Each structure stands twice: as structure tokens, then as C-alpha cells.
């Protein structure tokens, strides 16, 4: 029996890239899809992105750190003192103005860790570490001992996302580790390898054997995605423009965030939108 599984990760609100990936994946003849988290933001994808996902036979999903950020923003865990928290509040507001609440209920229900067995081959799926979906533990140049945290005696293949780079390596005992890369937000260090393509992976299991691991990089119209974001009034559009054109995201640049928050009056927006910020006044 042959199983082909498409692995999607780190879409980050880029529905244009997701659409191109789905079109490419359909030519691969996969029977199921696994979703590795970080579905929304900082791109504009909302209900449109959800409807693309709803058409797929998704059989496993895990929750990413950006998914948690949306939930934390909604749950009143963020305030106005921290520029990054204001950014997440404003972007979550944007999302909620364009997305059904049932999607939030679904996000909340997602586990950090999923175990899947395909023809006897045992897979472990987590956005980052099985019990920690954020941080730099699994950056691609880290030591093998870090990657061993993905593995246990019951895992033959570990799949993770989060670092936005396609990766194939082994744990110290020989188990396989796969990262499908990022659909909406690929990162590069080496200039000659830089491109605007959306990344994903396909794995093929035949009679309990792992017979193929395919890393795809699919081109899509990133200028059209940027135009879409502009036409939909995406907040922090300056940063999204740099992400789409330069594949660089300055989400940790507090100075830049503070100046954009000031320029666009985002504090007033979120004060008016979130009740718990109102009561803080």
C-alpha cells in the first residue's frame, strides 16, 4: 500500500502562496495532508485562507507559536507597553475582522504534539519541540543533541516546522527528522539560494517503508500577494512589503514597530477594539 502525505507549515497568512502549493501538491497525488502550525499573520489571509484549508483532507494539525499569539491577544494577555504586543493585538484585530470565530475555537483545540502511524511507521509531529512551540532550540545549525529532543523510542520520523527552512537530518540514534520549510515566510542566510518560492514537503510510505522525501519550492506571484495585502488594508504593511520583496521580516525591530504604531495610530485602534484595553484606561 502506498501513502503520499503532503506536509504544510508556516503559512503565516499568505493565501496566495498556499494556493500555489495546493495546486502543486494536487499533482503529487497525495491522500492526506498534515498541518504544522503558524497558519495566520503577519499576512492578510483569514477566511479566504481557511476555505483553502477546508477543502483539503487534513488528518493531523499542531499549534504553532503564532497561533498561540492570536489566542493570547484575544485572551487579554497583552498590553500597550510592549511594541510587539501592540503589533500582535493590532494584527489579531485585523484577523478577527475577517475571520469566523469557529476558526479560533479550532485553533484552541489543536495539540502541540500529534503522533501518526502510517503502515507501521511512527511519526511525531510538533511545530517546534513537542512541549515548546517557540524559541531557537531547533535552528538548522544546532547540535544533534538538541534535535534528539524531538525523538523517543516510539518515534521513527519526527516532523517539525518553525525555523522556516527545509531540513533533513538524523537524531543520534538514527531516526529521521524532516522540516518541510515555510509556505508563507521562508528564511535564507545564503544569498545565492534566496528565492521567493513557497516551500513544502511530500513524504511517501510504501508497505511500511519510507520510500521518498520530496522538498518542493513553488513559485507564486508575490507581488500579487502584496497588492492583495494593500487592498485589504493589512496593518504593518511596510513590514509585509519588505517580507514579500526581500524575504526579510523585521518583527523583532522594536524601533521600527514603535514608529509604525505611532504613524498609523494603532494604539487607538486596539483600545477601541479590545474591551479589556478599554477598562485599563
Which residues are at the interface with Mn ion (CB under 5 A)? Answer: 10, 38
**Which residue number, 38 or 68, has a Cβ lying nearer to Mn ion?**
38
User: Of 201, 238, 199, nearest to 220 (Cα)?
Assistant: 199
Closest distance to Mn ion from the beta carbon of 120 (Å): 31
Helices (H), the chain: 15-26, 47-54, 65-74, 83-96, 101-109, 144-147, 222-231, 237-246, 254-264, 266-273, 275-278
Taking the complex as a whole, the smallest distance from the CB of residue 106 to Mn ion amounts, in Å, to: 18
CB atoms within 10 A of CB 105: 9
In angstroms, give the least distance from the CB of 164 to Mn ion: 6
Identify the CA nearest to 198 among candidates 16, 50, 33: 16
**Which residue number, 6 or 277, has a Cβ lying nearer to Mn ion?**
6
User: In the complex with Mn ion, which residue's Cβ is closer, 59 or 65?
Assistant: 65
Name the closest residue to Mn ion (Cβ): 38
**C-beta of 173: minimal distance to Mn ion in Å?**
28
Between residues 103 and 175, which has the closer beta carbon with respect to Mn ion? 103
Nearer to Mn ion, 67 or 204 (CB): 67
| Pair 1, 207: CB distance under 8 Å | yes
* Mode of pairing for the β-strands spanning 176-180 and 157-159: parallel
Asked whether 250 and 224 are in contact (CB, 8 A), the reply is no
Alpha-carbon distance values, 22 to 1, 19, 82, 99, 199 (Å): 24, 5, 37, 21, 11
Strands 113-118 and 58-61: what pairing? unpaired
Indicate the residue among 36 and 205 with the shorter CB distance to Mn ion. 36
Amino acid at each position: 500500500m502506498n501513502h503520499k502525505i503532503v506536509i504544510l507549515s508556516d503559512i503565516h497568512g499568505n493565501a496566495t502562496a498556499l494556493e500555489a502549493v495546493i495546486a502543486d501538491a494536487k499533482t503529487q497525488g497525495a491522500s492526506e495532508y498534515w498541518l504544522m502550525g503558524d497558519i495566520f499573520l503577519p499576512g492578510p489571509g483569514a477566511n479566504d485562507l481557511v476555505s483553502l484549508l477546508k477543502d483539503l483532507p487534513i488528518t493531523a494539525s499542531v499549534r504553532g507559536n503564532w497561533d498561540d499569539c492570536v489566542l493570547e491577544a484575544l485572551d487579554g494577555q497583552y498590553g500597550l507597553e510592549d511594541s510587539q504586543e501592540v503589533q500582535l493585538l493590532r494584527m489579531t484585530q485585523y484577523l478577527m475582522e475577517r475571520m469566523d470565530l469557529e476558526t479560533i475555537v479550532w485553533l484552541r483545540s489543536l495539540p502541540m504534539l500529534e503522533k501518526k502511524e502510517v503502515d507501521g511507521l511512527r511519526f511525531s509531529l510538533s511545530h517546534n519541540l513537542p512541549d515548546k512551540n517557540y524559541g531557537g532550540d531547533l535552528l538548522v545549525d544546532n547540535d544533534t543533541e538538541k534535535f534528539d529532543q524531538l525523538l523517543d523510542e516510539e518515534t521513527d520520523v519526527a516532523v517539525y516546522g518553525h525555523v522556516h527552512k527545509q531540513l533533513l537530518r538524523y537524531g543520534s540514534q538514527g531516526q529521521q527528522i524532516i522540516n518541510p520549510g515555510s509556505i508563507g515566510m521562508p528564511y535564507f542566510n545564503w544569498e545565492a539560494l534566496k528565492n521567493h518560492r513557497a516551500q513544502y514537503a511530500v513524504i511517501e510510505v510504501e508497505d511500511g517503508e519510507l520510500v521518498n522525501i520530496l522538498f518542493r519550492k513553488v513559485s507564486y506571484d508575490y507581488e500579487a500577494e502584496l497588492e492583495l495585502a494593500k487592498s485589504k488594508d493589512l496593518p504593518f504593511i511596510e513590514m509585509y512589503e519588505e517580507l514579500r520583496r526581500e524575504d526579510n521580516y523585521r518583527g523583532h525591530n522594536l524601533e521600527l514597530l514603535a514608529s509604525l504604531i505611532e504613524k498609523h495610530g494603532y494604539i487607538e485602534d486596539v483600545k477601541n477594539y479590545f474591551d479589556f484595553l478599554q477598562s485599563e484606561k
